[in-house]
Structure 1
Amino acid sequence: MSLKGKAAIVTGSTSGIGQGIAEALAAAGADVMLNGFGDADAVERQRAGLERDHGVKAVFSAADMSKPDQIKAMVADAEAAFGKVDILVNNAGIQTVAAVEEFPDDRWELIQAINLSSNFYAIKAAMPGMKARNWGRIVNIASAHGLVASPYKVAYVAAKHGVVGLTKVVALETAQMNITCNAICPGFVKTPLVEGQIGEQARANDMTEEQVVRDVILASQPSKRFVGIDELGALTVFLCGDQASSITGTSLSVDGGWTAR
């Protein structure tokens, strides 16, 4: 499937799921704007590698996804670099694990800002250009936790449920404009975010990390294996192609059977 001639933004793409999706889009021929935090030299190696390996144009934005003005500027910068934004992948996310009554207020606000509100602001900024060209693909990386809940993840679950609702509204508003908006809902993927959760759960429950993976992290995932980042990249590429033009407003579970229960 070719996305040659298309231009994409992938938020939170300097590591983990976002990095894999950016790689997959570039491999399909799309120009890509990376976004995220991390070591400047490592980010530059990633950016240059996309150009070298796939013959596309790649740029980087350090926009903070908790800041609406920076999100708006990121989209404007991508439009200036590529001439347009055809594809928007909202992937940036953070996590904190705590009981409701102990959940830090500042972490609640930050998780809502990065995991949910950033999607809204990025879509709002990219939408006028997509409508003007009568073509666009929006992929929001939600979570199995956008469909079901788990204890101690109140902010994350609330935000990801919000992402699923946002996806549906955008899809309805753009259904006749050749613009699609879908949510991918992964189960557990072995990313730095999940690795951090493993350590937190181990400390909180006086367990080994191996016990946490087997009895806590993957307890709800019938496949008993982590979802592959390459699987999520391939699905994103498919959703961005013309073959998926009638798929919109959906929440696609990639969770080893978790939400089939």
Structure 2
Amino acid sequence: MIYPCKPHKNPEHNMSISRRDFLKKTTLSAGAFTLLSGMKVHGMEAIHPKGWKGRQRVSEIASICEMCFWRCGILGNVDKHGKLLKIDGNPEHPLTEGRLCARGNAGHKLAYDPDRLKYPLMRVGKRGEGKFKRVSWDEALDFFAKKLLEIREKHGAEAVGFFPHGIQARFFEHLMKGFGTPNIVEPAFAQCRGPRDVGYKLTFGNNVGSPEPLDFENTKMMVFIGTHIGENVFTGQNLQFANALERGAKLIVVDPRFSIAAQKADYWLPLKPGTDTALL
């Protein structure tokens, strides 16, 4: 059964805003929190002027957030000693327009996490004992290169497997390809966007990539199947989704759950879990 999600008018209540308009203007769950980081509050510019952190003069350095693969544009606030004090969204970024999720705003804490590895460590005890010593980068790289060459000479390059994850691992992937191993597999591929990418490639000849090219803001109708937009931290998606709803785009959501997106839909189809393919 398809449930139309139309505003309910109760004559006993004289509301100046409809349920539909209210839901469009509410936050998009955790994802909608991303919109708040780019908001300007009247009067706050005088209290926290641009280029200052409290009473400290800071430099704003443009970069890309690495807290997830969406890679939002950021501005790092760095003091005169080179310490990263905070991260703001970059209003010049074409996808996110200055918005950041809570994870992105907290990204500077990753740089100073007490458990972060700041230099190479080499195991000196038996495997599992947890005994390591600090070594230089030259020592670590020489040891690594020596072991790789020994393995290739004795067993062939295919005896080495590389299991990357995240954007940073892509740089190391070039080395592994140059080394000659074909065994490069991303562990999270099958659990994350792998099925989607394979499906797109088989259907359209190419995968959709990430971040996906979106055009929500210019569409007249959105149909969501197997997606959780509004509940994720993909800032650009949530921004375009909110703008499309504000402009009056229609929304159909196919989801067993009454999700955040379903709450804002014109029609909601709560199909049985696992029957998406049968519906299509």
TM over 0.5, shorter chain: no
- More helix per residue: 1 or 2? 1
- What TM-score do the two structures reach when normalised by structure 2? 0.27
